[in-house]
Amino acid sequence: MVIPEHITDTPRLSVCIPAYGRPEEYALLLKSIEAQTQFPHEVLICEDGSPQRDALRDITTQFASRMRVHGLVVRFIENPINLGYDGNLRRLIELATGTHVFFIGNDDFILPDGIQIAQRFLMNNQVLAASRSFARFDHDPLKPIGYSRQIATDTSISKASHPAGIVMRIGGFFGGLIFDRNWALQHSTQQYDGTLYYQIYLLLEAYCHGTIGYMATPTVAARADNAPLFGSAKSEKSHFTPGRYSAQARGRMWESILTITSDVEKKNQVALIASMRSELAGRMSFHLFEMFAGRSTAEQRQLKEELNRLGLFDHWMPKTLYIMNTLLGSHSAWVYQLARRSIQR
Please compute the mean of the pLDDT values over residues 211-229 and round it to a whole number: 90
Give the pLDDT band (50/70/90) at residue 238: confident
Split at pLDDT 50, 70, 90, the class of 3 is very low
The predicted structure's pLDDT at residue 6: 43
Cα–Cα distance, 86 to 94 (Å, whole number): 13
Give the chain's mean pLDDT. Answer: 92
| CATH dotted code for 5-223 | 3.90.550.10
Q: pLDDT-derived band of residue 97, with 50, 70 and 90 as boundaries?
A: very high
237 has pLDDT over 60: yes
Which DSSP letter does residue 191 get? T
Query: Is 70 exceeded by the pLDDT of residue 218?
Result: yes
Per-residue model confidence (pLDDT) at position 4: 44
Q: Assess whether pLDDT exceeds 50 at residue 224.
A: yes
| pLDDT the model gives residue 342 | 66
pLDDT at 9: 53
Task: State percent of the chain over pLDDT 70.
Answer: 96
Residue 313 pLDDT greater than 90, yes or no = yes
- Terminal-residue alpha carbon distance, the chain: 34
The Cα 147–Cα 130 span in angstroms is: 18
Q: Is the pLDDT of residue 7 over 60?
A: no
**Which position has the higher pLDDT, 56 or 244?**
56
Q: Is the pLDDT of residue 13 over 60?
A: yes
Percent of the chain whose predicted confidence (pLDDT) is above 90: 83
Reduce the DSSP state of residue 141 to 3 states and report it.
coil
Calpha distance 46→176 (Å, rounded): 16
Residue 344 has pLDDT above 60, yes or no: no
Residues 6+ apart with CB under 8 A from 170: 131, 150, 151, 157, 203, 212, 214
Per-residue model confidence as pLDDT tens digits over 23-81: 999 999 999 999 999 999 999 999 999 999 999 999 999 999 999 998 999 999 999 99
Per-residue pLDDT for 325 more than 60? yes
What would the pLDDT profile of 254-288 be if each residue is shown by its tens digit?
A: 999 999 999 999 999 999 999 999 999 999 999 99
Q: Where in the chain is the domain with CATH 3.90.550.10?
A: 5-223
Q: Which residues contact 51 (CB under 8 A, 6 or more apart)?
A: 21
Question: SS3 of 276, please?
Answer: helix
* Number of other CB atoms surrounding residue 320 within 10 Å: 13
Distance CA 309, CA 303 (A): 10
The pLDDT value given to residue 137: 92
pTM metric for this prediction: 0.93
β strands within the chain, DSSP E: 5-6, 13-19, 38-39, 42-47, 73-78, 100-103, 109-110, 129-137, 146-148, 155-157, 178-180, 212-223
Phi and psi, residue 263, nearest 5°: -65, -45
pLDDT tens by residue, 112-158: 999 999 999 999 999 999 999 999 998 898 899 889 999 999 999 99
CA distance 199 to 92: 12
